[in-house]
Amino acid sequence: MMTFRRVVMTVTVAIHIPFAAAMAELARRLGWPLPWGVGGVLALVGVVMFMPRMPGASADRKRATPHSARFIDLPYYVHWCACLFTIIPAVVGSLVSPVVDAVRGVPIEAPMRLYLYTYVLGLVVCGYGILVRRRWFHVRELDVPVHGLDPTFDGFTVAHLSDLHIGTHTPKSWGMRWARAANGRAPDIAVVTGDMVTSGMEFHEDIAEIMGELRAKEGVYVSMGNHDYFGEGEPLVAHIRARGVTVLRNEGVVLEREGKRLYLAAIDDTWTERDDLDTALAARPDGSHVVLLAHDPERFRQAAKRDIALTLSGHTHGGQIAFPFLSRWISLSHLTHHFHQGLYRIGRSTLYVHPGLGTTGPPMRLGVAPIVAILRLRAV
């Protein structure tokens, strides 16, 4: 965590350098004295304001003044993300502009207007991503092909939620809205594939209330993700189970319909090496199809080798930031995960990767909508 904090702090300092130049240009246009002094002071304030927000990455806590998150944190993150938005155009412009000036035979100057205009554009784009896009979720219905599924289970519906990240910037009220949206489709089962919390333990009761709000004809089932152990995971499990919700940790349950059986299993978190697929499948009835809850989609290859019909995952958030309408192909998660959003097939096995509902890091989504997924199993 200390290494992570040093890296993030270094990035924060770096992205405030073009911001300082942008503010210097703005001060010059306004006729203020010492424009570079103004830019430097504002950049220093921006860096210092970031420092008290770093501990939340490991131990998110409820605020004594809850509205401070809305009126201080979120505007600050709009600024921070706008600075990040500016850094690449600023670096490219700083390298190209002197060459262009030299070719044109004019005095070489820093591209001050570029810094200012890019930062302003970043405020607009990032303001939308933080203040609007992440709040606006969809209920998405999807047919999921399951090879060899018994016709008895054809049309079986699964309300799939993942990566809620309830905490300071994703309040309980949002989670309750997501749960009620899932309930409105009257699913056969509801599942949550981990990362219910951002970090720490202070939001465990809120999460348990959300899990308890979910309704499904044949039960609500939860598996754990890596963020659920950013603190103590056992109290979270206890709180959820106290609400009558089944938490599956390297185990499974048999779902029956007209004498036919479907085995719903889940593995525990892979990042903390709690997962055990063999144990999760130990009670699998002979000949039954398996639906596996696995927070990390990288376990899909192992699932396919075990002839698991359908794996439901999350973890990637679809990158949180992606090119609009092309998020499947151009997103941050595509750079780091092979299975990062939507449906995938390996042989007879299918994977669905949920793009998540909440956020980690900067509370922003662009090009990747939060969704409540309603999956209909289809026999093929």
Does the pLDDT of residue 195 top 70, yes or no? Answer: yes
Enter the tokens of residue 250. Answer: 């390297």
Contact 378, 146 (CB under 8 A): yes
Q: What tens digit of pLDDT does each residue of 9-32 get?
A: 999 999 999 999 999 999 999 999
Residue 56: the pLDDT is 65
Residue 67: the pLDDT is 82
Residue 90: the pLDDT is 97
Residue 1: the pLDDT is 65
Distance, in Å, from the CA atom of 35 to the CA atom of 113, rounded to the nearest integer, reads 14
Q: What is the DSSP string of 235-294?
A: HHHHHHHHTTPEEPSSEEEEEEETTEEEEEEE---TTTT---HHHHTTTPPTT-EEEEE-
Q: What tens digit of pLDDT does each residue of 38-76 get?
A: 999 999 999 999 998 876 667 898 988 878 888 999 999
Q: What tens digit of pLDDT does each residue of 137-186 get?
A: 999 999 999 999 999 999 999 999 999 999 999 999 999 999 999 999 99
Name the average pLDDT for the chain.
95
Distance, in Å, from the CA atom of 177 to the CA atom of 172, rounded to the nearest integer, reads 9
| Residue 301 parent element (H or E) | helix 300-305
Average pLDDT over residues 236-252: 98
- Dihedrals phi, psi of 313, to nearest 5 degrees: -135, 180
Domains of the chain: 2-131 (no CATH), 140-379 (3.60.21.10)
Average pLDDT over residues 293-303: 97
84, 180, 242, 278 from 200: Cα distances, Å: 27, 25, 19, 30
Average pLDDT over residues 187-195: 98
Length, in residues, of the chain: 380
Distance, in Å, from the CA atom of 303 to the CA atom of 265, rounded to the nearest integer, reads 11
Residue 14: the pLDDT is 97
Short-list 14, 17, 26, 37, CA closest to 117: 26
Average pLDDT over residues 215-240: 97
- Dihedrals phi, psi of 322, to nearest 5 degrees: -155, 165
Average pLDDT over residues 108-123: 97
Bigger pLDDT: 18 vs 1: 18
Does the pLDDT of residue 82 top 70, yes or no? Answer: yes
Short-list 161, 156, 258, 250, CA closest to 207: 161
Distance, in Å, from the CA atom of 369 to the CA atom of 210, rounded to the nearest integer, reads 20
Residue 55: the pLDDT is 67
Angle, vertex CA 359, rays to CA 355 and CA 365, nearest 5: 70
Place of tokens 């939060």: 370
Average pLDDT over residues 123-134: 96
Residue 326: the pLDDT is 81
Contact 160, 352 (CB under 8 A): yes
Q: What tens digit of pLDDT does each residue of 267-281 get?
A: 999 999 999 999 999
Q: What percentage of the chain carries pLDDT values higher than 90?
A: 87
Short-list 270, 364, 347, CA closest to 304: 347
String of b and e for 321-348 (b: at least 16 CB within 10 Å)?
A: bbeeeebbeebbbbeebebbbeebeeee
